[in-house]
Amino acid sequence: MLNLVRPGRNVLSHLGRRLYSSQSAVSFDRTELDSDKIDFKKYLNFNHEIVYNYTKEEIDVENVPTHKTNMCGAINEAMRHAMEKDEKAVVFGEDVAFGGVFRCTIDLMEKFGKDRCFNTPLCEQGIAGFAIGMAAMGYKPIAEFQFADYIYPAFDQIVNEAAKYRYRSGNLFNVGGLTMRAPCSAVGHGGHYHSQSPEAFFAHVPGIKVVVARNPVQAKGLLLSCIEDDNPVLFLEPKKLYRLSASTVPDDAYYLPLSKAEIIKKGTHVTVIGWASQMYVLEEAVKMAEEVGIDCELIDLRTILPWDVETVINSVSKTGRCVIAHEAPHTNGFGAELAATIQEKCFLNLEAPVIRVCGLDTPFPLVHEKYYVPDNLKCFEMIKKVVNY
């Protein structure tokens, strides 16, 4: 006979789980959360020293020749290194021969010739199909979609051809040399055709990888790893960051690991996760939280597919709380996948529900774009909310 009586909550068991979950949550003093202590004006001209820096464990810039460049220049360098290393590396897309609309491919045609850096018709489906064919023949095509917002006509080619090519032939053939670059995310005035973040669409596709960089050091190292990877890769480039600032980058080629998140700042009270240009917003929010006594652990996911489950789970198991931020709409954004996995694997460690701070469930509004994407204040309020739960 079924017992339909709702069981009562076991207080002692609940207490044990909470004591086990995280020491920081037990000792945290909520009475210190006084936002009036924060001087919000200083965040109008904030110096993003953390997220624009590099991880010393991954990159040695002290014992190798270096130079300063912005993210656009770093991407150009990565393609140049790849084309110098392998004569089968080819760059093409709309307007790339003269340097592209963002100038990321400047001088590549002059250096490597019209056969290795050339323009294509304005046809994203054709760009993807041509790239898949070249990769199948052993080339390393680096295909550029001028804006990620226009990648959808190529959806069938990417999802049903590139991602499944290896599986359709029993691994006899593959398109592992294929890299697709796409400028993404908001710039403040792009509107609904120049501001989208489409990572969640492609995160649902087994057979491809989805990578996004936040600074010049990452852009160069991750793009080079994408080009050398044995799987087709979609490399998303937050165009707002192209010329945001310059940082120290090694002169020679180097490779950053894919599917490995980066812990930018260690903390004990809240795990804060983001990617792309949201990392700059989150750094400001984390600094605000520090002023009221909240110690956040800040993680840049870097690879969306396949994402670094281990790093995220270890962090949330330690802190017991999590805030996720991304520019894409809230409903079915990639933050939902993170939240579901965290709830599944960290349930007994959680002190509060996972909170997402996302774009709105509407098309990008041209005039009100700055209110659409999560800003530092929205993220800061959610950090306080998850601590006060």
pLDDT given at position 3 = 33
Q: Any idea which residue has 């652990």 for tokens?
A: 297
pLDDT given at position 367 = 87
Domain 20-49+262-388 has CATH 3.40.50.2000: no
pLDDT given at position 1 = 38
The share of the chain scoring above pLDDT 90, in percent, equals 78
Strand 209-212 relative to strand 303-305, pairing: antiparallel
- 162: which DSSP letter? I
Q: Give the residues across from 355 on adjacent strands.
A: 323
Asked whether the domain spanning 66-250 has the same topology as the one spanning 20-49+262-388, the reply is yes
Q: Which tokens go with 22?
A: 């995280």
E strand residue ranges, 225-269: 233-238, 247-250, 262-265
Q: Which tens digit of pLDDT belongs to each residue from 100-147?
A: 999 999 999 999 999 999 999 999 999 999 999 999 999 999 999 999
Q: Using DSSP, state whether 256 is helix, strand or coil.
A: coil
In this predicted structure, the answer to whether residue 350 has a pLDDT above a threshold of 60 is: yes
In this predicted structure, the answer to whether residue 194 has a pLDDT above a threshold of 80 is: yes
Q: Tell me the one-letter amino acid at 95.
A: D
Q: Using alpha carbons, select from 383, 219, 245 the residue that is nearest to residue 300.
A: 219
pTM tops 0.85, yes or no:
yes
**Local confidence band at 8 (pLDDT 50, 70, 90 cut-offs):** very low
Q: Which tens digit of pLDDT belongs to each residue from 83-94?
A: 999 999 999 999
Across residues 335-349, what is the average pLDDT?
A: 98
Distance CA 328, CA 276 (A): 11
Active site amino acids: 124, 194
**Local confidence band at 21 (pLDDT 50, 70, 90 cut-offs):** very low
Q: Phi/psi of residue 304, each to 5°?
A: -80, -40
Distance CA 173, CA 91 (A): 22
- Annotated domain spans of the chain: 20-49+262-388, 66-250
Architecture label for domain 66-250: 3-Layer(aba) Sandwich (3.40)
pLDDT given at position 4 = 32
**Local confidence band at 191 (pLDDT 50, 70, 90 cut-offs):** confident
Return the CA Rg of the chain: 22
